[in-house]
Structure 1
């Protein structure tokens, strides 16, 4: 019986047993990074948005597993000339074992997954970033020694990263909090979905209250890709109150860790002194993307999903 779903479009597509299996594989892949788990298989990396960590970690990861990463920039494919997402997916499934897609609209992913018989993995959309959250909780597990009962306080805009952290946190027994201005708080859909998954996102206006007792303080950029026209309004709404500083970190009341999905806009959402502190694990987070994403691909291969459709 196949355990995992074919597609990973949302953090909610994962179960606790999926996560346990992926983390166990990631532990092994850290110690033995090179294998032939994907030997003979190509993986398409279809990117509509810029990327550093996601692209490099997937390209290197597929290569280390013996597979062939095929990077496709949207602007150099027929998608840029009007070919449908569905037709592209039906074509790619005849060449590759999986599609890793980084897109502007989440609907692009759902259309692609419905058309393709191979896995479609969300490498970022406007709604979620499940690979980031999966890797982040792996880092928290490594640093704190557990996940159940951990308190994660997110400071800032309710981004796609926050959405995936909230949903996966609900699945894993993590208490997720967010402090943001009311107009930039989490959507009702995320709050309801987290509750459906067994969690409860706690929403605060005051960052100092949100971080009390937190094991993890997390933030993200205040102006995400595609929001550049809103920059001035967003910075006025968030700063300086929603900046992570040493003073805010001290209000946790414990030796908390600081996390950021990167890239960081130093001096805006976080101060240099926090980014470069001993509490910061931001670059270990980035490093763990490689191990966890490799483990995700191996797990999907073990379930028999990574097979191109034969003519």
Structure 2
């Protein structure tokens, strides 16, 4: 029986098998080729999706909107001042209202519990566009970019994340890498290592797929053999007050030419989920170098998000 994700939520990659993640990546490749060929589709014809945003966004908002339009659907943006989510109105009540009007709901905000409650009550697929805990749609774009540079089978690739090792990006990259058998390294101060429970969970997943999860404090040791070095802002949205403290702590983890050279490979690529603070977590030199694939990665948000929408509510 053909694999189908129809009607499924997309809250974290923990909920998906290796086969299902590759299915989404394969679909993203097909949809990207279709887009590049200038072919407008109808896979979302007659579908309406709600975009709930508590946090600001460039790539996620644009990707969901364009993805829906490209395949004949309609996307309705609802910002934090447009609805009463979690304030005047309970999350579950908002979910039950929107679920009767829309075919799918995207949520980008702070609490993972909010997107989970939306999923529990909406009656339609709910997609996580980012929470403080996870950012699963970004990982699909990252892995699609890795495939474009190193081949479609990602097992055995060494992916090093340098920076804040317990933020939503580190968490999500760790889960995705464990699911697909990558050798994933979090390179950060021990005070910013990921939550022990999630780390142990990912180690157990990686043991089944031939991958590994490592925590290393020394940047020069961590990046040896890396196919890709990934970083993110040193203070996430909502943590701006800690910016100066984080800069002092994470300065040794800046991705610069010296760190790229320390991989001892000539094909290492640089990845960043954007937006980037240049000369902070990454130097302008690396960001603008040939090794930088950040804009391929940003474009791939569109194709991978389109794959998620089409797979879960599309006319396949």
State TM-score, norm by structure 2. 0.92
Are 1:14 and 2:26 an aligned pair?
Answer: no
Tell me by how many angstroms 1:3 deviates: 4.4
Counterpart CA distance in 2 for 1:152 and 1:216 is 5
Are 1:55 and 2:61 an aligned pair?
Answer: yes
Are 1:211 and 2:223 an aligned pair?
Answer: yes
Tell me by how many angstroms 1:59 deviates: 0.5
Q: RMSD between aligned alpha carbons? A: 1.5
Unaligned runs of 5+ residues in structure 2 are none
Match of residue 114 from structure 1: 120
Alignment of 1:258-269 (within 5 A): 258-269=270-281
Residue of 156, 164, 172 corresponding to 2:172: 164
Deviations 1:162-212 (A, max 9, x none): 111110111111110011111111111221221232353200111111100
Counterpart CA distance in 1 for 2:224 and 2:185 is 10
Counterpart CA distance in 1 for 2:301 and 2:87 is 32
Counterpart CA distance in 1 for 2:74 and 2:314 is 18
Alignment of 1:192-271 (within 5 A): 192-198=200-206, 199-239=211-251, 241-254=252-265, 255-271=267-283
State TM-score, norm by structure 1. 0.94
Which contiguous aligned blocks of 4+ residues in structure 1 show a shift greater than 4 angstroms? none
Counterpart CA distance in 1 for 2:157 and 2:86 is 44
Tell me by how many angstroms 1:29 deviates: 1.1
Deviations 1:74-112 (A, max 9, x none): 222122751011000000011111111001111101111
Q: Which 10-residue stretch deviates more, 25-34 or 174-183?
A: 25-34
Are 1:188 and 2:188 an aligned pair?
Answer: no
Other structure's SS at 1:112 match = helix
Question: Is the 1:246–1:273 contact (alpha carbons within 8 Å) kept by the matching residues of 2?
Answer: yes
Counterpart CA distance in 2 for 1:286 and 1:225 is 19
Are 1:41 and 2:47 an aligned pair?
Answer: yes
How many aligned residue pairs are there?
A: 303
Match of residue 173 from structure 1: 181
Unaligned runs of 5+ residues in structure 1 are 305-311
Question: Is the 2:104–2:313 contact (alpha carbons within 8 Å) kept by the matching residues of 1?
Answer: no
Question: Is the 2:43–2:315 contact (alpha carbons within 8 Å) kept by the matching residues of 1?
Answer: no
Counterpart CA distance in 1 for 2:127 and 2:204 is 23
